[in-house]
A and B are shown apart, each in its own frame.
Chain A
Amino acid sequence: MTVRFAGLTALDAVSFTVEPGTVHAVIGPNGAGKSTCFNVLSGVYRATTGSVRFGTAELTSLRPHEVAALGVARTFQNIALSPRLPVRDNLLLGRHRLTRAGFVASGLRLPGARREERAHLARVAEIAEFVGLGAHLASPVGLLPYGVQKRVELARALAMEPKLLLLDEPVAGMNSGERVEMAELIVSVKRSLGISILLVEHDMGMVMRLADRVTVLDFGKRIADGPPDEVRADPKVIGAYLGES
């Protein structure tokens, strides 16, 4: 795919494939185009040219909620939760595509809507437990520490029961303890849920440990793509990172 903003090519004919059930990392210096790539995959931006396929479905021209309906979930680099709603409601929002109750059914509190709410609340509680948020279900998200909010982001995406999970810098801004916890969590998501994960991360140690395959972007171009060890030894990658820092 290629994405151009007025006068700036954020992604330049970038191409890669995520194998089902794997963790695939996209790395690169700041401004390389990683988040732009996620925005195209999730329907937020439209690629200028190129195409994105998910299984047999063509995502390129779908709107975000249509992409979500196919089972693609994502988290945001900058937290994008509803700060005044409790964790529970933020996670229930993840169930939106799996539930039906509309204005009339909710307004009249029809039995079907109430049953649906109860059932999905139970599943949300399970997911919260899995992610280590069990104790926070009733707390407004805005009152929780940053590291916990990052986990709420992940839990909300998991609440969508996705087939593909896009994680945009899940440990950015976290301390080392929190990073380790989050890395373990991602491993257990992969193991126990069998979800394919596309991961954007600056923490190299984490990428090398978690990823089955790594794609490296620099200034919107793909400069490497392969298993972690190979990519780490690639002179172009070393150049891009050393040149930056």
Chain B
Amino acid sequence: MSRLITWAAVLVAFVAVPFYLEGFWLQTGLFAMSAAVGAIGINLLTGATGQLSMGHAFFLAVGAYAYVSFSDDLGLPTPIAAVLAVLLAGVAGGLFSPIAGRLRGAYLGIATLALIFGGQHLLFNVEHVTGGFNGRAVPPLEIFGFAFADAPELILMNVPFGALERLWFLGGALLLLAALFARGVLRGRPGRAMNTIRDHEIAAGVMGVPVTRYRAGAFVLSSMYGGLAGVMLALVFQRTVPDYFGILLSLDYLAMIVIGGLGSVGGAVIGAVFVSLLPQLLTRYSDALPLVSAPGSGGVSPAEAARLLYGAAVVGVVLFLPGGLLGLLRSLRLRLPSLPTPLPDTRSSHVS
């Protein structure tokens, strides 16, 4: 019952946001939603299956650029372009899966670096598809004649509903669906197989789990989550920029799941929100903060400050919070007897 009330409150707050907050915060929130979808994906692979990937940014790039290319170059309806872009990210993951299935843990992490460097090369050089250095403009999504763009004008309760306001609800819905799907996977038969591969690979095989196939499957699934995150990111940013999809983005994703909590959906979402919000908060309040200065004016830029801060957060979590922020929230709730105590999520765990 109280769980229902919590969710109802979350829903009301979520719906209210576009009516009260300005564009800057909406955009930040949308980046966080996209990041959350991507982080769920890498948590399925790295947190739940114990397979490190440094190549997650590559699959975001596949999703983002494929969406643009399918809709603008091939002239496909944008929703179909979006679905195909996610599938293409899955295919790209599938092409890599002979490697992803056979390499274990950190070795896969090293191999996936190749994806990042290869991907960057393609993004800069296959100009007729990627637009090269300048990237490409992203066509707005249009579903049954409803455009997720500023035009045509739409006003709800005296609030102009532009692209960001409209995307807010789409992003929320996609994140919810992505989270529920991942939770189903993790709590079901595939999740148990993945967790056992992480905890004891030999035991997994002996218990009947085809280890190579499951590693490949987890890699493909995580690629598709990356692709969806890429499509969402493109829609929000309205432009694809090749630089963005580099090694730093992959590291951001690893930071998210370590900070939030490895192996669980909730951990991925919390970590994504933390890592996405931090640079924006610092940018917004840079004048009020010591040491942090506006970008380009010398001193530590907000983006750099944010990276330093969550670098410190990663170290802090690894040393002091084995369950990540999610684990911290849970233990706080366990200490407050008035709140309902959920079953401990035993799925979150460190890569071993």
Interface positions of A (Cβ within 8 A of B): 42-44, 63-65, 67-69, 73-74, 76, 80-86, 89, 92-94, 96-97, 99-103, 105-109, 113, 116-117, 138, 140, 156, 160
- Shortest Cβ distance from A110 into B: residue: B184
For residue A43, which residues in chain B have a CB less than 8 angstroms away from its CB? Answer: 205-206
> CA–CA, A94 to B204, complex, Å?
9
Which range contains the number of B residues in contact with the other chain?
20 to 34
Interface centre among A73, A97, A106, A140 (most CB of B within 10 A): A106
For residue A82, which residues in chain B have a CB less than 8 angstroms away from its CB? Answer: 195-196, 199-200
Is the CB–CB distance between A85 and B346 below 8 Å? yes
Interface positions of B (Cβ within 8 A of A): 181-182, 184-185, 187-193, 195-196, 199-200, 202-211, 217, 221, 343-344, 346-349
For residue A42, which residues in chain B have a CB less than 8 angstroms away from its CB? Answer: 206
Q: Which of A65, A85, A89, A108 is B210 in contact with, Cβ under 8 Å?
A: A65
- Shortest Cβ distance from A102 into B: residue: B190
**B187 → chain A, closest Cβ, in Å?**
8
Can you list 29 pairs linking A and B with CB atoms under 8 Å apart?
A43-B205, A44-B206, A63-B210, A64-B206, A64-B211, A65-B210, A65-B211, A67-B206, A68-B206, A76-B202, A76-B203, A81-B203, A83-B199, A84-B195, A85-B347, A89-B195, A96-B189, A96-B192, A96-B207, A100-B189, A101-B190, A103-B185, A103-B221, A106-B185, A106-B191, A107-B185, A109-B188, A113-B188, A117-B189
Given known contacts A101-B189, A108-B184, A86 and B205 CB-to-CB distance under 8 angstroms: no
Is the CB–CB distance between B347 and A107 below 8 Å? no
**A80 → chain B, closest Cβ, in Å?**
4
> CA–CA, A83 to B203, complex, Å?
13
Top 5 nearest A-B pairs by Cβ distance? Answer: A106-B188, A64-B205, A97-B208, A68-B208, A80-B203
- Shortest Cβ distance from B187 into A: residue: A106
Is the CB–CB distance between B189 and A84 below 8 Å? no
**A223 → chain B, closest Cβ, in Å?**
28
Given known contacts A64-B202, A96-B192, A106-B185, A84 and B208 CB-to-CB distance under 8 angstroms: no
- Shortest Cβ distance from B218 into A: residue: A103
For residue A100, which residues in chain B have a CB less than 8 angstroms away from its CB? Answer: 189
Is the CB–CB distance between B184 and A106 below 8 Å? yes
Is the CB–CB distance between B192 and A63 below 8 Å? no
Is the CB–CB distance between A94 and B189 below 8 Å? no
> CA–CA, A1 to B217, complex, Å?
35
> CA–CA, A108 to B190, complex, Å?
12
Is the CB–CB distance between A84 and B193 below 8 Å? no
**A66 → chain B, closest Cβ, in Å?**
8
> CA–CA, A102 to B211, complex, Å?
14
> CA–CA, A82 to B205, complex, Å?
14
> CA–CA, A63 to B205, complex, Å?
8
Given known contacts A82-B200, A85-B195, A107 and B181 CB-to-CB distance under 8 angstroms: yes
